[in-house]
Amino acid sequence: MKIRINKFLGERGIASRRAIDELIVQKRITVNGLTLDTPGMKVSETDVITIDEKRIATTRPVPVTILLNKPDDCITTSKDTHGRKTVLNYIKIKERVFPIGRLDRNTTGVLLLTNDGELTHLLMHPSHESEKVYRASLDKPLSEKDKKRFEAGIMLDDKKTAPCQTKYFRDDKKDVIVTLHEGRNRQIHRMFNALGYAAEKLDRISYAGLDAGSLKRGEWRYLTDKEVSQLRGTEPRSIGY
pLDDT per residue over 6-51, tens digit each?
988 887 878 878 889 999 999 999 999 999 988 889 999 899 999 9
Class of domain 131-207: alpha beta
Instruction: Locate the domains of the chain by residue range.
Output: 3-55, 65-126+209-232, 131-207
| Helix or strand run (H / E) with residue 200 | strand 199-207
Burial class (CB in 10 A: 0-12, 13-18, 19+), 149: middle
CB 90 within 8 A of CB 218: yes
| Among 104, 146, 175, 211, the one annotated catalytic | 104
> Residues of the chain with pLDDT > 70: what percent?
97
The reply to whether 131-207 shares the fold of 65-126+209-232 is yes
Residue 104 among the catalytic residues: yes
Q: What is the CATH number of domain 3-55?
A: 3.10.290.10
| Domain spanning 65-126+209-232: CATH 3.30.70.580 | yes
Q: In this predicted structure, what is the pLDDT of residue 126?
A: 76
The dihedral built from the CA positions of residue 161, 162, 163 and 167, taken in this order, carries a sign that is negative
pTM for this model (two decimals): 0.76
